[in-house]
Structure 1
Amino acid sequence: MASSRQIPPSKMPGPDFASSLPSSFRTGSPIAQEIVARDIAECSEDGIVNDAFRDGSESDTESEDGPTLYRQPVGIAFGYRRPSLLPEPLEEPVLTKVEKKQSRNEERSLLRDNHILPPKHAVEAEPSRFTSMYNRLFSTKVRKTPGGDDVPQITVDASETSPLLPGGGTAGALPEEHLTEQWEAAVASGKIQTTWQREAKTLTVYSRSLIVTFVLQYSVNIASIFAVGHIGKIELGAVSLASMTANITCYAPFQGLATSLDTLCAQAYGSGHRHLVGLQFQRMTYFLCTLMIPVAMLWVFAEDILLKIIPEPLSAELAGLYMKIIIAGLPGFIFLESGKRFVQAQGLFHATTYVLLIAAPINVFLNWLLVWYLGWGFVGAPISIAITQNLMAVLLLLYVMFVDGSQCWGGFNSRALTNWGPMVRLALPGMIMVAAEWLAFEVLTLVASQFGTSYLAAQSILVTLTSTTFQIPFPLSIAASTRVANLIGAKLVPAAKTSAKVAFGGACLVGIFNMTLLSSLRYQLPLLFTKDEEVISIVAKIMPLCAFMQIFDGLAAMSHGLLRGIGRQHFGGYANLISYYLIALPISFATGLGLDWKLEGLWLGVTIGLLVVAAVEFWYICVSDWKQSAREAERRNAAG
């Protein structure tokens, strides 16, 4: 097929960027497949061999016989926004060897808990009272029903390596072909069940590292608010105003565009041509760097633009200064957004966490050093942000060079300057979805600036606090999405519903925890940001409403995560758009501006919007055909 394709300009010797770029925007056919197929064809015609096995090791994507329960999450962009609108993934990522091993271990564990395989450890003949109580509360094993049919355990022919005692040996003593046979038979007969203890344990394990990652990355942004807030309320409001403008004009669109690498890098990795992952990374990085030029020019004149919108001139002036300085951090931000997709496509999901474990404390130190110790004041905060963004990019580069991930780097390639058109068309939906959500929340900050400096500073504190608490339910929703997708993909629909019920309960508990935290510390938390009595009074007045909102915020995040798990995330996207733009924002404008309720009105609209979206999405989850989702997942797995 590749040889019958017409050779585009990018395949000619010495490609001309000026002529090849426009032609790439006329490319048709399925976008993602077209991009990867074209790159593979170019490699073949240039005599570049498949480099997936160049190191002589077994491919991570080589197919293996046996069950594959585990499916990694897709379309997840580890960021600091409030991500409810996530673009629907076009393709499932490729399973790595580590993930396949996790799949086998999970299947063995489920077979043991359902009494189909012998227990891993010998069972006590007469357990103590403490052991019995512990097992009743925390054991993940499915309880045998009195008088129920006993499930026949698998038997294996004895050999020299067979254990002498029942229950002896290791988890790997069972041959893979027997495990496959037993698993498929158990699933077909409906013998596989799960317990709330197992699902609670699994969701906790899945989400704990995600929570650490999200909190660390968000801390990079709130550190400057902590540092600047105690200078004055004008400075505090200016930081919020600058962050809002930067989010809308750059960070949200760039992060949305980079989500296309979730598909492209995964497909390139699955094609067996590892160096194509690096090519897609280069292509997106160059594209974003090109867009950085007009963004930087816009930020240079941000002060003049904000002066025409914001009634407080000093706030606009400081916000403009802030944005001029953080221009220096844009290259690092671009490299990090593209780079973390580069490593995630290889299954290296902890790389970003390791980077943040180093960069986040350094960022806190830089804010203290520049803002307070050296006495630079307000300008120290954006300088710290710019340094930290570039530092994270350097740390990720060092991780790839000296730890893992370099196997997918094939060197700099001039082809990265061609075929941008299909990539842009693939990236635009993600950009629109992300930017639409950022705009819905950040526009409230712009409205708050109309009420005066104190209200703008109070809005900055409220947004920071509610966004910080959001870093708990959202990672939990990702864990639930992953777990439900795992079970749906394994055709274990009843188990998936059990996991969804546990996730719903977990979201309620997290919401209650966040509500209790904000309401009980309504006067203490503002002191972390400012000493201004007027600002503290405004925050304390609005805090009960924001605390009540935590219930619906957590449930809305969880409902969208469960929709992703059953493959119905497109409904969640529409529900969120409608709730934000047709319900939340109109109510906020009507009550905040029309009735002059100010911040109370703004946050009332957001609370009602989250209530509506959570109710509608959970209703849709309840009436959806989960068995149909399982059949669709089976077709995707077979096609993949």
Structure 2
Amino acid sequence: MAEDTSRGSAVTVTAVAPRDTESTSLLWKSVSSEKETTWKTETKVLGTYSISLIIANMLQFSLNMSSMLIISPRGKVEFGAVSVATTTANITGFMVFQGLCTSLDTLCGQAWGSGNLELKQLHVQRMIVLLGAVGTPIAILWFSANHLFSLILPDPQTSVLAGLYLRIIICAIPGFVVFEAGKRILTAEGIFFPVTGILGAGACTNAFLGWLLVWVGGIKLIHDVSGADFAKRCDLGFIGAPIAVATTWTLIPMYFWLYLTLVGKRGHLPYLTSTALRGWSPMLKLALPGLVMVEAEHLAFEILVIASAQLSTADLAAQTILATLNSAFWQIPFSISIAGTTMIAHHIGARSARLARISALVVFVSALLCSATNSILFFSFRTSWPRIFTNDPDVVDLVENTLPLVAAMQLFDGLVACCNGMLRGCGRQSVGGWVNLSCYYVVALPVSLWTTFGLHWGLKGLWAGVTFALVLVTFAELIFLITADWQKSVEDADCRNIASVDREP
């Protein structure tokens, strides 16, 4: 997003001259002033950013979740295995990287808003180094995941296939890391459309490779894993899915490099410099609580997926479908929250607390309308959604019976995404981290496990605890945002920008 010339009247800040390029935000008009900027202006900006972000996040979500759609026709065992593996990969790996990268939404956005372009590049360099270091233990965990699955999953065939999937998907880590951090070079300036195009090319690549490897290249493996019958199931048709995903994530950074080269922005590439190896304190202070904000909810869902496996294979498949639908629709309010994070961070970096508050209000109202729409869609088409994934009557019945509760949960899930985005924009990730952590693990999981296994509510019990936790998170974060000192966020951003260019080793 480009910078905002609407500065606070009490403080004089030197602005970077507006440029008539794609990176020139709607917020940046030379004739505008802070007094002229209203909720209508902010709504227009939010809508412009959100459209590209919704498409981009849906495409990125499809890359990680496409394996379930490709594999589901092969049977319950394969579908259960790929669901456990993809969920585990998301929670223990991809969500970790995304959670740490949320600090860049704050740091790069505020750096751009303050006019410090070099600092934005520096933040991305530091993040790539951090993600590379974090990716090593994650790869080791995935390589040995089959042994862990054998301890917690009752079906040995499911655990073996899930472990095989994770071993192959290790190859996706380098490409995912580079792109997830590198794309902030553009999104921090409000340039979202090229990222959408790159992910669109990646989705096409993934679809072609999935078709080629899963359905065309279904060559049987000759070794027996755990019985002759199971050996027939374990073919290239199954492992072709993770191979397609890993290959796609390897190619996406190359698409990103190609775009920057073609448009003459190779200087935007985050080449590593010696400065990136020091001055990490501001980044870590935001990255770690940002990780907790993202991981708290998604790790809770992973635990619930594992818990559903203790009920039956059909319950596991149904829980996976519900979680997948929830995650797909969640991308919409989440995209609005990212757009809001960028807008608020720009205003904070430009030292305008008033515009930051206006942006926050616009983001909240938009997320409320979006979440209500999601809730209506979930309930209205509850008999149709499960048949997108499977025709198994047992699984379809379980999903249909649980969808009304999940529909009610959609309202609060979207509002939580919105509140988390606003907290990131003003650099208050620590608040969201503590609220999410306490509500999900002190409230959600105990209630879910008690209602599921103690009261025998089945899948409805698993979702009851999560819904209750989301209600608590929504109200807790809203109360903080309403009573927060936004001017203090402006002052903290100034101090953070200064500390981030610290040259001491």
Q: Alpha-carbon deviation of 1:470?
A: 0.6
User: Where do residues 250-269 of structure 1 align in structure 2 (5 Å cutoff)?
Assistant: 250-259=93-102
**In structure 1, distance between residues paired with 2:76 and 2:462:** 20
**In structure 2, distance between residues paired with 1:569 and 1:393:** 28
Residue 360 of structure 1 is matched in structure 2 by 203
How has the CA–CA distance of structure 1 residues 407 and 441 changed in structure 2, closer, same or farther, with 3 Å as cutoff? Answer: same
Residue 578 of structure 1 is matched in structure 2 by 438
1:223 is the counterpart of 2:66? yes
Q: Alpha-carbon deviation of 1:356?
A: 0.5
Residue 633 of structure 1 is matched in structure 2 by 490
**In structure 2, distance between residues paired with 1:281 and 1:496:** 24
Structure ranking higher in helix proportion: 2
**In structure 1, distance between residues paired with 2:117 and 2:335:** 32
* CA offsets 1:573-592 (integer angstroms, 9 cap, x no match): 33222221122111111111
Q: In structure 1, which of residues 528, 533, 541 is the aligned counterpart of residue 401 of structure 2?
A: 541
**In structure 2, distance between residues paired with 1:446 and 1:601:** 14
Amino acid at match of 1:615: F
* CA offsets 1:468-490 (integer angstroms, 9 cap, x no match): 11111122233345556667767
Moved more, 289-298 or 326-335: 289-298
* CA offsets 1:43-82 (integer angstroms, 9 cap, x no match): xxxxxxxxxxxxxxxxx99xx9x6448xxxxxxxxxxxxx
Q: In structure 1, which of residues 594, 609, 613 is the aligned counterpart of residue 454 of structure 2?
A: 594
Residue 336 of structure 1 is matched in structure 2 by 179
Is this contact kept in 2: 1:236–1:460, CA < 8 A?
A: no
Q: What fraction of aligned residue pairs are identical, expressed as a percent?
A: 41
TM-score normalised by length of structure 1: 0.64
Q: In structure 2, which of residues 86, 92, 109 is the aligned counterpart of residue 249 of structure 1?
A: 92
Is this contact kept in 2: 1:343–1:405, CA < 8 A?
A: no
The gaps in structure 2 that reach 5 residues or longer are 9-14, 219-235, 499-505
User: Where do residues 449-464 of structure 1 align in structure 2 (5 Å cutoff)?
Assistant: 449-464=309-324
Q: Alpha-carbon deviation of 1:245?
A: 2.2
How has the CA–CA distance of structure 1 residues 107 and 575 changed in structure 2, closer, same or farther, with 3 Å as cutoff? Answer: farther
**In structure 2, distance between residues paired with 1:568 and 1:291:** 23
How has the CA–CA distance of structure 1 residues 416 and 287 changed in structure 2, closer, same or farther, with 3 Å as cutoff? Answer: farther
Amino acid at match of 1:507: A
Higher alpha-carbon Rg: 1
* CA offsets 1:224-273 (integer angstroms, 9 cap, x no match): 11111121122111112112222333223333444565677789998979
* CA offsets 1:459-507 (integer angstroms, 9 cap, x no match): 11001101111111122233345556667767584x7766655544433
Name the SS of the counterpart of 2:382 in structure 1.
coil
Residue 252 of structure 2 is matched in structure 1 by 392
Is this contact kept in 1: 2:105–2:424, CA < 8 A?
A: no
Q: In structure 2, which of residues 326, 334, 344 is the aligned counterpart of residue 466 of structure 1?
A: 326
How has the CA–CA distance of structure 1 residues 417 and 193 changed in structure 2, closer, same or farther, with 3 Å as cutoff? Answer: closer
**In structure 1, distance between residues paired with 2:400 and 2:240:** 29
1:403 is the counterpart of 2:263? yes
Moved more, 94-103 or 558-567: 94-103
1:235 is the counterpart of 2:159? no
Residue 502 of structure 2 is matched in structure 1 by none
Name the SS of the counterpart of 2:74 in structure 1.
coil
How has the CA–CA distance of structure 1 residues 101 and 502 changed in structure 2, closer, same or farther, with 3 Å as cutoff? Answer: closer
Q: In structure 1, which of residues 603, 614, 628 is the aligned counterpart of residue 463 of structure 2?
A: 603
* CA offsets 1:112-152 (integer angstroms, 9 cap, x no match): xxxxxxxxxxxxxxxxxxxxxxxxxxxxxxxxxxxxxxxxx
Is this contact kept in 2: 1:277–1:409, CA < 8 A?
A: no
Amino acid at match of 2:415: L
Residue 105 of structure 1 is matched in structure 2 by 29
**In structure 1, distance between residues paired with 2:422 and 2:449:** 31
Q: Alpha-carbon deviation of 1:287?
A: 5.4
TM-score normalised by length of structure 2: 0.79
Q: Alpha-carbon deviation of 1:325?
A: 1.4
**CA RMSD across the alignment:** 3.8
How has the CA–CA distance of structure 1 residues 95 and 249 changed in structure 2, closer, same or farther, with 3 Å as cutoff? Answer: farther
How has the CA–CA distance of structure 1 residues 243 and 265 changed in structure 2, closer, same or farther, with 3 Å as cutoff? Answer: same
Residue 160 of structure 1 is matched in structure 2 by none
**In structure 1, distance between residues paired with 2:283 and 2:332:** 33
Residue 327 of structure 1 is matched in structure 2 by 170
Amino acid at match of 1:606: V
Is this contact kept in 1: 2:353–2:490, CA < 8 A?
A: no
The gaps in structure 1 that reach 5 residues or longer are 1-59, 70-93, 109-182
Name the SS of the counterpart of 2:64 in structure 1.
helix
How has the CA–CA distance of structure 1 residues 420 and 540 changed in structure 2, closer, same or farther, with 3 Å as cutoff? Answer: same
Residue 303 of structure 1 is matched in structure 2 by 146
Name the SS of the counterpart of 1:522 in structure 2.
coil
Q: Alpha-carbon deviation of 1:213?
A: 1.3
